[in-house]
Structure 1
Amino acid sequence: MRLGQISSIHFVSNLFASVLGFVATVYIARILGAEPLGTYHLSLGLVSWLSIVGTMGFSEAISKRISEGEEQGAYAVAGVSIVAGFFVIVAIFLVVAREYVNAYVGFSVTGFLILILLAVLGFSVVSNILRGLSLVHIYGILMPIKVGARSFLQILLIIAGFSVTGLFIGHAAGIILVVVVGSYVVLRNLPTLTRPKRRHFKNLIEFAKYSWLGDIRGRMFNYMDVIILGFFVSQALIGIYSVAWSVSQFLAIFSGSITNTLFPEMSRLSSEEDPSAVSGLVETSLTYGGLFLIPGLFGGTLLGERILRLYGPEFPQGATVLVILIIANLIQGYQQQLLSTLSGIDRPDLTFRVNGAFVVANLLLNVGLVYLYGWVGAAVATAISAGISYVLSYLYVRSIIDFSFPSAEIAYQVGASIIMGCVVYGGIRFGEEFMLLQNNTILVTIIIIVGASTYFVSLTILSAEFRKTIARNLPLGSLGSF
């Protein structure tokens, strides 16, 4: 299967999963309000940070070593053993510190944290093994199962009167279901499961000693702002901020699909030939890294308040935060491709430096800007720190690989987004002027569909490369690479 088609399967699966999550979150927000959502997302932020200790960079190390194609079963067993040991340590810590953890969250949450942490670590290991086996499309297909099961159980439990408790139970159950299904797929595709030797652990440690900071970087990008906000603002504002973040992340799905699809290919080419062999893949990843995020920025600026209104009357106040977070994810989309390139060509030392710069900048900026400007400061801190790490990543990749930055293709995407923005703005004014649609949900849905269609038609007309990519990756298209 061509790389473009794998990316498409992964993207469509994740898109479907995100739509399910979006609908469920809208329903939950309308039933429970912003404050319970704040408690829930603050708890997930804690789990995210605890999972760093639970993996210590070994999840990415597992993916890297398995992608090299040698002794895959031994590396899988070694990785699972290490992560299981770390989980026990973290679980004991949570039990000992449960009084302080519950006080910080404002809810008796320790038992749920341990259960969700177990599920998250299991999912991290399984998904990275699938990634290493170049089964990214299978992982993508599992995502709707996870989100669908989680959303269904959460809504069912809320209806039954479980409130926040239902959110935690449903979240853990959805992940556990995917871990079970994913483990079956892994066992079917690994050649054999063999007892690891000392060198297998050593090789994992060699990569993990650099990649653990990447785990911290990922958690900081996703949750540091929420953790810091927990000390300064109300749970309700955290709930609104988290909803704005989830909307901005929705636009980053395709960028993540490209990263997950190209990483094992980069790793294979680099190990078989040399780092310069991946230059074409680097250019491809940058060409399409902002395919959805660029128009998303225009759309979020024009429709942000109306989109957030779908969640309830208290959520539109996060419109400014939403735009800033989309900018942060746009920068992150390009940076993600470059950082994945460094990992793929086995330069974890350079990813360590990039991640170190991000961690320091993100921590200092979040503390300072949240203290001064509240939740807007948190969003700005995330965007600035992403920008710093992007510049470093670009310089490091350029120093190793000779590639051309796809400025023309990105310009076409911006041009198509401007055309889309004009259509969206006209649609909003037309609908408001003639009061044709009083229902905000219907109006937003129609404008998004029209706007997205306008963008892709415009991009297809403007970009010959985009037309070629579509032709190569259609089911009946000619054979070729993405």
Structure 2
Amino acid sequence: MRIGQTSFIFFVSKLVASLLGFVATIYFARTLGPDVLGYYALVVSLVAWIELGGRSFSTAVKKRISEATDPNQYFTAGGITLVFVGSLGILLILVFQTQINNYVGENVALFAAALLVANLIYVFVSAVLEGERQVHISGILVPLRTGIRSAVQIFLVLYGFQLVGMLAGYLIAGIATGIIGFAYISSKFEIPKKRHFKSMYNYAKFSWLGTLKARTYNDVDIIVLGALTSSTFVGIYSVAWGISKFMAVFDSSLRSALFPEISKAKVENDEQIAGKLVSDSLRYSGFVSIPGLFGGMVLGDQILQIYGPEFVQGTTVLSLLILATVIYGYQTQLTNAIDALDRPKISFNINIVFILTNVVLNVLLIPIVGWAGAAAATVLSASLGVVLAFQALTNLLEFGVPINEIVYQVGSGLLMSVVVIALQDVLVTTHIVDRPTGRLVILIIAGALVYFLTLLAISRDFRKTVDSNLPFKVPFVH
């Protein structure tokens, strides 16, 4: 398995998905406004929290299948567990449907129950595929799901279905891609034994907090904002958050590709390979998010302007969220390695600190400094998390920290921002391109080219990586 190519395939898939979602969100923001987007974000976030148990067991299934021991039994045991956990989640939603409807501000409880089922199917199928080291297939499901969701949502919104159309599109896409992905699973149903359930439980009882950490990072801001502010602010914040998560696409792809490889190296007691994989994860964790940070600081207001004038007030929040994405990316690479080394208890302890810090800071800072406090809370909690994760992993495994490569990425990002600012002045004063959207596209493309070519020129390791993963030879890259 060539990690670079696998990561790139997964990255391109998620990139396409993010671009599809980006374009669709612009349409929804302009058509529906921030209020409906706020309701939609709250429903999706609530469902994500309720499905935590199922996601945790899916992570355990991925881990056990990746070890290549009794994959069929673990596949079946995981499916049985998923049905049980999903049933509990549906029951929870039905019991508290009045409270859920009151919190969101719309009657959405029944939709939430249906979305829970769709999400659990999709998450389980993706976890099994990644455990089988079919990361490329799992990756392709991402843009497929986003494409189906966006198409159905746009169709329904065009015909007057606002929030209902948004939720129905999310539901249909989750079920459809889950069914398609299931067809590529090689594991078969085989009666599991008690030890298979116990082995999954022993992993999941610690890894569930890692799933909770991811949900805390992704959704706790929106959940707290939903209780303390209006749906308008929630909608604007969710758009800024979506843009920042776009910067983490490559980082997420890298984690998905590396997890089964580190897990396999651990089972084979090959610490040298495991250490090299960890170094590679740190080397390229910020490959996209670092230039994204500089780009967000320079062009953030123009990017948000595309969604509508009212969204521009989220410019400061956007920069803080992208910074949090950079820091959190390194934290998740480290905890991903810890989990792959079958030490979920250590990640459990790190995640407790991260979650408590994030929640407490959100509650404290939002009333004091407003919604920017939510973004600041994420930055601070992620910073603490990366320090704790680094200390823990150094006690488990010997690996190198590619400081030079990170410095090269920061330097390339700085040069990129300078060029973008200068080019922006030229475009505005010369009126070569009058439309703001056209100027923005030119600036983004130019900035990406400057960053990539600068990094290619100054980083020998980056040139080697590009050369080894291209299907053809490029003379000047050697």
Is TM (by shorter chain) over 0.5? yes
Counterpart mapping for 1:446-461 below 5 A: 446-461=442-457
In structure 1, what is the equivalent of residue 181 of structure 2?
Answer: 182
Query: Do residues 382 (structure 1) and 378 (structure 2) align?
Result: yes
Displacement, 1:274?
4.6
Q: Find the aligned partners of 1:316 and 1:432 in 2 and give their Cα distance.
A: 19
Unaligned runs of 5+ in 1: none
C-alpha contact 1:38 1:240 (8 A) present in aligned 2: yes
Counterpart mapping for 1:165-314 below 5 A: 165-186=164-185, 189-190=186-187, 192-314=188-310
In structure 2, what is the equivalent of residue 50 of structure 1?
Answer: 50
C-alpha contact 2:334 2:393 (8 A) present in aligned 1: yes
Displacement, 1:437?
2.6
What is the CA deviation profile of residues 67-88 of structure 1, one whole-angstrom value per residue up to 9, with x for unaligned ones? Answer: 0001101101111111111111
Query: Do residues 33 (structure 1) and 29 (structure 2) align?
Result: no
| SS in structure 1 at match of 2:342 | coil
In structure 2, what is the equivalent of residue 336 of structure 1?
Answer: 332
C-alpha contact 1:132 1:264 (8 A) present in aligned 2: yes
In structure 1, what is the equivalent of residue 71 of structure 2?
Answer: 72
C-alpha contact 1:421 1:451 (8 A) present in aligned 2: yes
In structure 1, what is the equivalent of residue 125 of structure 2?
Answer: 126
C-alpha contact 1:335 1:386 (8 A) present in aligned 2: yes
Give the TM-score normalised by structure 2.
0.98
Displacement, 1:359?
1.0
Q: Find the aligned partners of 2:52 and 2:3 in 1 and give their Cα distance.
A: 30
Displacement, 1:15?
0.5
What is the CA deviation profile of residues 41-94 of structure 1, one whole-angstrom value per residue up to 9, with x for unaligned ones? Answer: 011110111011444x21111111000001101101111111111111111121
C-alpha contact 2:89 2:116 (8 A) present in aligned 1: no
| SS in structure 2 at match of 1:137 | helix
What is the CA deviation profile of residues 220-271 of structure 1, one whole-angstrom value per residue up to 9, with x for unaligned ones? Answer: 0000000000111110111010000010110110011110000000000001
Q: Find the aligned partners of 1:393 and 1:361 in 2 and give their Cα distance.
A: 15
Displacement, 1:434?
2.9
What is the CA deviation profile of residues 279-302 of structure 1, one whole-angstrom value per residue up to 9, with x for unaligned ones? Answer: 100110000000011111110000
Letter in 1 for 2:372: V
Q: Find the aligned partners of 2:203 and 2:54 in 1 and give their Cα distance.
A: 16
What is the CA deviation profile of residues 85-126 of structure 1, one whole-angstrom value per residue up to 9, with x for unaligned ones? Answer: 111111112112111110100000011101111111111111
Query: Do residues 442 (structure 1) and 438 (structure 2) align?
Result: yes
Displacement, 1:427?
1.6
| SS in structure 2 at match of 1:108 | coil
C-alpha contact 2:254 2:281 (8 A) present in aligned 1: yes
C-alpha contact 1:54 1:83 (8 A) present in aligned 2: yes
Moved over 6 A (4+): none
Aligned length: 474
Q: Find the aligned partners of 2:436 and 2:121 in 1 and give their Cα distance.
A: 40
Q: Find the aligned partners of 1:275 and 1:355 in 2 and give their Cα distance.
A: 24
RMSD between aligned residues: 1.1
In structure 2, what is the equivalent of residue 88 of structure 1?
Answer: 87
Letter in 2 for 1:83: L
C-alpha contact 2:408 2:458 (8 A) present in aligned 1: yes
Q: Find the aligned partners of 1:218 and 1:275 in 2 and give their Cα distance.
A: 27
Q: Find the aligned partners of 2:143 and 2:201 in 1 and give their Cα distance.
A: 33
Unaligned runs of 5+ in 2: none
Displacement, 1:429?
1.6
Letter in 2 for 1:80: G
Q: Find the aligned partners of 1:143 and 1:358 in 2 and give their Cα distance.
A: 27
Displacement, 1:3?
1.0
Q: Find the aligned partners of 2:273 and 2:2 in 1 and give their Cα distance.
A: 18
Displacement, 1:476?
2.9
| SS in structure 2 at match of 1:314 | helix
Letter in 2 for 1:221: Y
C-alpha contact 2:251 2:286 (8 A) present in aligned 1: yes
C-alpha contact 1:40 1:167 (8 A) present in aligned 2: yes
Letter in 2 for 1:176: I
Displacement, 1:438?
2.7
Q: Find the aligned partners of 2:54 and 2:334 in 1 and give their Cα distance.
A: 26
Give the TM-score normalised by structure 1.
0.97
Letter in 1 for 2:291: P
Letter in 1 for 2:47: V
Counterpart mapping for 1:319-330 below 5 A: 319-330=315-326
